[in-house]
Amino acid sequence: MSIAAALALSVVLADRPVIPAADQGAYKAWLVDQALDAEALFSLKPACADARLRDVATQVVTIRNPPPGERSQALAESVSVEGCGRRLRVNINVLLPLLGQAWTGRSGLPGESLATIGLQQNAEAQVSSVVNTRRLTTCEAVAVGDAAVIARPGNVHLVPAGTPLPKGAPGTFYMSLADPSQQAQLAEPQAWVEKWSLDACGLDASVTLLFAPLKDGSATAILVSPAWTETVGKAK
């Protein structure tokens, strides 16, 4: 997309301090391209020609041991893409190159997620396994909507199996695990819960994910469970 074409859209993107002034226009046009492509990928629909794009958040991130030719700084970009009856918060991690090289971006899950892109990828197999029990055999792809954090670290409480789950206030999450030995390994104060909004050809196929770092810090356990709402009038 040319800079002129990008600015012809309704685009509200602020200047990025870590981008040289002479490159601001080209960077914004590039970011618009990335955001439109990501929105189309997640929605499974053509990119919206009348989309409106606006900043949600921009964060400068420091990269340990950057790849050769890359800077130690990166940008975590969040851009809202709205139009054609759709709205999605697109998240893109941008690697800032050395002089004379191009920017590169990697899209994470849309919406708000505390999970890194690596953790999101680690969860994919479990998510697919759960979603496959929901979607129709003729449904080949699943559209992805905005993720949301249901409970942040400190608000997740693991209770023994068989114990009635208390009714928690908004932002508080109670869960029991079938394996007591597994529960004992988890760092409960660091755990959080998210809901990933998924649509399987018209059927709600959303899932709830518990992310719980192990006490020894070696990994993060991920547990996926259905969170979909039964729909009326849909084919079965």
Domain residue limits, the chain: 3-107, 117-226
CA Rg, the chain, in Å? Answer: 20
pLDDT at 96: 82
Task: Please give the single-letter amino acid code of residue 34.
Answer: Q
pLDDT at 80: 97
Cα angle 92-30-108, degrees, rounded to a multiple of 5: 10
Distances from the Cα of 80 to the Cαs of 32, 51, 58, 226, in angstroms?
10, 10, 12, 27
Low-confidence ranges of the chain (pLDDT < 70): 1-8, 67, 69-70, 99-100, 230-236
If 0-12 CB within 10 Å is exposed, 13-18 middle and 19+ buried, where does residue 51 land?
Answer: buried
pLDDT at 124: 96
If 0-12 CB within 10 Å is exposed, 13-18 middle and 19+ buried, where does residue 62 land?
Answer: exposed
The SS3 call for residue 185 is: helix
pLDDT at 232: 44
Please tell me the chain's helix, strand, coil percentages from 3-state DSSP, rounded to the nearest 5.
Answer: 20, 35, 40
pLDDT at 87: 96
pLDDT at 167: 83
DSSP state of 162: T
Q: What is the pTM of this model?
A: 0.86
Question: How many whole angstroms separate alpha carbon 20 and alpha carbon 71?
Answer: 14
Task: Please give the single-letter amino acid code of residue 224.
Answer: V
Domain 3-107 falls under CATH 3.30.70: no
pLDDT at 72: 76
If we measure between CA atoms, which residue out of 129, 130, 126, 118 comes closest to residue 219?
A: 118
> How does DSSP assign 109-125, residue by residue?
-SB--SS-HHHHHHHHH
**Cβ-proximal residues to 139 (8 Å cutoff; 6+ apart), any chain:** 200, 201, 203
If we measure between CA atoms, which residue out of 193, 206, 80, 211 comes closest to residue 142?
A: 206
If 0-12 CB within 10 Å is exposed, 13-18 middle and 19+ buried, where does residue 76 land?
Answer: middle
pLDDT at 4: 44
The gap from C-alpha 210 to its chain's centroid, in whole angstroms, comes to 14
